[in-house]
Structure 1
Amino acid sequence: MKVGLTGFVGAGKTTVFTALTGLQARPAAPGAVNLGVIKVPDPRVDKLAEIYHPRKTTYAEVTFVDFPPAHTAERRAVLDAPTVAQLRDADALVEVVRGVPEVTGAPATPAEDVSAFAAELVLADLAVVEKRLERVRKEKGHEREQALLERIAPELEAGRALRTLGLGVEERTQLAGFAFLSLRPLLIVLNVAEAEAAAPLPADVAARAGAEGAEALVLAAGLEAEIARLEPADRGAFLHDLGLADSARDRFIRASYHLLDLVSFLTAGEDECRAWPIRRGTTALKAAGKIHSDIERGFIRAEWGGNLVLRP
């Protein structure tokens, strides 16, 4: 699962990257990215490891990609062509939104930033649709594709994200090759000051995120980055003192799994205990293919059973 971190200049996305991964992002050349991988905690895997004592224990992983903003004087001109190309490779997008005043004293305008960023995603997709329509209208054999593109083009022109249109499975499959950004699952992370770390999401930001078909959460990135550097044994007490139930990483993992509609299935044995992320509703047959195509081809049946032994 690859999650792309992006946002306007000064939003604090690189600090969010540090909070989630515990890694210090390095200054990079234009167009370069910072990569971080975190393991998804799973007490069921821990329990299986206690039972089987495997040679290897493998947790599901989330790869975070910290995309640099566009190198431009205009703060909101974030989606230049190279950035768009990089974002299309992500499974989900995370927009970090500034929730604290700028150093100049200018107030934060998070709801406006959510709308402005959403508009950039839509415009990037509209450019792709218009270019493709120019071609398919001149050629035969693309009638179904043309009809679908002509249906979504007015929606994009009106500023509506593709994820809000209620597209069916077949339509999404037909559009998959375009890697449309406004069809990607979107999580809004409101980066706030330390004093607001436990505050609820502002109503206007929640409403704006909902209108874009996105989810949203509040995160004090600077504070969470400090927590990420603590020893694991010290983090719980620190979070408790701040009124937080769990870390940014744990909250973010839950939000990402929900956003992508993922669950994990488990395999266990003396060689390895492992968690495998799959889409919710994936059949046992397709899950078997996640392990190896030979297992999918030779699949006979699946048997249901309780997992009481794996409960904490």
Structure 2
Amino acid sequence: MALTIGIIGLPQSGKTTLFNALTKAGAPVSGYATSTVQANLAVVQVPDARIPPLAEIFKPRKTTYATVEFVDVAGMGQSAQSSQEKKEGLSAEFLGHIRNADALAIVLRTFANENVPHIYDSIDPMRDLESLNAELALTDLSTVERRIERTKKAAKSGDKKYQQELELLKRLQEALNELKLARQLEFSQQDLAILGELFLLTMKPRMYVLNVSEDVLGAANELLDKINAGENVSADTLQGELKGLAQVALHARTEGSEFVAVSARLEAELVELPEDDAREYLEALGLPRLGADRVIQVGYRLLNLITFLTAGEDEVRAWTVTKGAKAPEAAGKIHSDIERGFIRAEVTRFEDFIACGSFQEATKRGLQRLEGKDYVVQDGDIAHFRFNVGK
């Protein structure tokens, strides 16, 4: 399962700088608004501290990390001065780049820099979010209205399923007309099946990436930790960047979204440094890891994903599955035949394996388990699947 995260935001929010920090892709960064909707795409490894020690033990021919694809698309907010374009929402070209993303990373700028003018001439991340949400809602409204016209024709047959679909579409139309997000509505399982065909942008899980100045990065992360922990934080008692950051984070909690603070410019500079130098600089700022790594971590949490491992002389590899997946489903990530012919899984926790140093010792200590079809795979499991595919 390759996770795809679409990076969106207003011009000069730091989207492409963040993309470069995440991917080391070196995509060109503009200091002014442009009209392009060309996408930057890159696939990067998901950082996993469990891979190197396993590789050290097995000396495999191949080492494979899980991957995440980032898609950075320019173009949002370009129609801010055009009421006609604004009414139509995002272009078909933009939609084509972003509609298949598993989640959206919405970059919101909190830093001020007179050399990087803001499209609205002032810094207000909540206002920017409302602008982006409006554009996403109008884009989805266009999608829903086209589907309504098609469904109306099909409903003339008298088939009740089309009548039910029309009811859902009209409910969506009403909400989106009011610039509400589709994800704010309640849906039945039947509704969700229809929604899956629409690829609505306002239904996608989202994280807010708050692009802060380097000066407040440490304080910003401390503040977000407090909000994440449910502590009583009032944005009204804060000033400057931290106030806007808190407003977005508190809003995110009400809608069940994730949030993370990064300094995209600093991140882009750090990825150019030797690893030891970058780590030392991060430690001086009181930060445990690169913001790029934290964005990936938040993406996994947002989409309820975990990682299991396979290890041997041929390959040490990380695999991504949805939390709650059972052993046969996890086996199917490796190959469909393994899922179809699943017999059992030999499972060892990563920590137990490292403590033992080998599967033989783990078995001797009773730390390797045999699990059947109902076993729910856990993050950090090292699994070996037994299977038999008949003729």
Aligned pair 1:154/2:154, yes or no? no
| Distance change in 2, residues 1:149/1:302 (3 Å) | farther
Deviation at 1:291, TM superposition (A): 1.2
Answer yes or no: is the 8 Å Cα contact 1:36–1:65 preserved in 2: yes
Q: What residue number does 2:21 align with?
A: 19
Answer yes or no: is the 8 Å Cα contact 1:2–1:63 preserved in 2: yes
1: distance between equivalents of 2:327 and 2:192?
23
Deviation at 1:183, TM superposition (A): 0.9
Match of 1:53 among 45, 54, 59: 59
Q: What residue number does 1:63 align with?
A: 69
- Counterpart mapping for 1:1-312 below 5 A: 1-26=3-28, 30-69=36-75, 72=78, 74=80, 79-101=90-112, 103=114, 106-139=121-154, 140=157, 141=159, 142-167=162-187, 170-198=190-218, 199=220, 200-201=223-224, 202-302=245-345, 305-307=348-350, 308-310=352-354
| 1:21-73 deviation line (CA, Å, top 9, x unaligned) | 23311369933222222211222222322232211010001111111225946
Answer yes or no: is the 8 Å Cα contact 2:305–2:320 preserved in 1: yes
Deviation at 1:225, TM superposition (A): 1.0
2: distance between equivalents of 1:152 and 1:46?
48
SS at match of 2:344: coil
2: distance between equivalents of 1:30 and 1:281?
41
Deviation at 1:107, TM superposition (A): 2.9
Deviation at 1:212, TM superposition (A): 4.6
Aligned length: 312
Answer yes or no: is the 8 Å Cα contact 1:191–1:220 preserved in 2: yes
SS at match of 2:318: strand
Amino acid at match of 1:123: L
| 1:261-303 deviation line (CA, Å, top 9, x unaligned) | 1111112222111111111112222222111111111112335
1: distance between equivalents of 2:81 and 2:292?
28
RMSD of aligned residue pairs (Cα, Å): 2.6
Amino acid at match of 2:145: E
Deviation at 1:310, TM superposition (A): 4.2
Answer yes or no: is the 8 Å Cα contact 1:161–1:212 preserved in 2: no
| 1:203-251 deviation line (CA, Å, top 9, x unaligned) | 2112333345422221111111111111112121100112222111221
Answer yes or no: is the 8 Å Cα contact 2:76–2:132 preserved in 1: no
Q: Structure 1: which 5+ runs fail to align?
A: none
| 1:153-192 deviation line (CA, Å, top 9, x unaligned) | 3333333322233445553333112111011111111111
Answer yes or no: is the 8 Å Cα contact 1:11–1:96 preserved in 2: yes
| Distance change in 2, residues 1:75/1:191 (3 Å) | farther
| Distance change in 2, residues 1:73/1:136 (3 Å) | closer
What TM-score comes out, normalization by structure 2 length?
A: 0.73
| Distance change in 2, residues 1:192/1:183 (3 Å) | same
Q: Structure 2: which 5+ runs fail to align?
A: 225-244, 356-379, 381-391
Amino acid at match of 1:136: T
Answer yes or no: is the 8 Å Cα contact 1:114–1:209 preserved in 2: no
Residue range with higher mean Cα deviation, 160-169 or 30-39: 160-169
